[in-house]
Amino acid sequence: MNRSIHSKKQQRERAEAITVRLTSAYPHARCSLDFESPFQLLIATILSAQCTDKRVNSVTPDLFHRWPTPKAMADASQAQIEAVIHSTGFFRAKAKNIRGCCQKLTAQYGGEVPRSMPELVSLPGVGRKTANVVLGSGFGQAVGVVVDTHVGRIARRLRLTRHVNPVQVEHDLAAVFPQQHWIALSHLIIEHGRTVCQARTPHCEACVLADLCPRVGVKTATGATTGRNTIQKTRKS
Ligand code: SF4
């Protein structure tokens, strides 16, 4: 492929082709956290930091059975919540954030999860990624693009961005993918990252995007790395 991808028009056409191919490859891609309400999705997403969705799904049934509402969870003790979520890692910080989040939901939002980005990111333990998950998969609002480790890595390999900072990656993706695709896009890329474009060993030979991808930062058979110097690391914001 031509590895110089400069014009916005070219980038949008390539983004469209990427969307079509990933949609065809992963027609059932969806949020892999189990939830029955935006509240449950919010708590599950807080728990998913530095943890697999499978592990989170193993603790949330007990968590939501014991404390089914923000009020009930806000009234639980730190030690009680820690005991249930222990296996998800960083359990002290997560329990503190969950209690703080539920206390604020109860005190300021009538026990409901707010539906705007500024309100969501004002909650303890909730950053832009978690807010985008809740808005997209919980409320069906395409306010932004969820950028997790898979999305960031694959966006850089595909040269859809040169950035490491998730907010800047999101900005670059939002500039070339139509807004109506933002929610599905993250699910598709995450599925691709789990199955084909894995962190250590991307299976480029089996990839539906192979002819569209400059493979930035991917080691070749000779051990050389493609395009590493084009990635810009900036401070997180
Ligand atoms: S060609 Fe390789 S690096 Fe590019 S998206 Fe596919 S698996 Fe990832």
Ligand 1 nearest atom to the CA of residue 196, by list position: 7
Residue range 37-49: mean pLDDT, rounded: 98
36 has pLDDT over 70: yes
Q: Which residues contact 68 (CB under 8 A, 6 or more apart)?
A: none
- Taking only the tens place, the pLDDT of each residue in 111-169 is 999 999 999 999 999 999 999 999 999 999 999 999 999 999 999 999 999 999 999 99
DSSP 133: H
ipTM value greater than 0.90: yes
CATH T-level assignment (fold) for domain 38-138: Endonuclease III; domain 1 (1.10.340)
Q: Please indicate whether the domains covering 8-29+146-230 and 38-138 agree at the CATH topology level.
A: no
Catalytic residue among 34, 53, 75, 148: 148
Between the CA of 4 and the centroid of ligand 1 the distance, in Å, is: 17
pLDDT of residue 237: 30
Please tell me the CATH code under which domain 8-29+146-230 is placed.
Answer: 1.10.1670.10
Minimal-distance CA residue to ligand 1 atom 2: 204
Please check whether residue 89 is in contact with residue 51, taking contact to mean a CB–CB distance below 8 angstroms. yes
Our answer to whether residue 75 is catalytic in this structure is no
The torsion region of residue 125 among left (phi > 0), alpha (psi -120 to 50) and beta comes to: left
Q: Return the bridge partners of 232, or none.
A: 163
Structural tokens at position 31: 């949020």
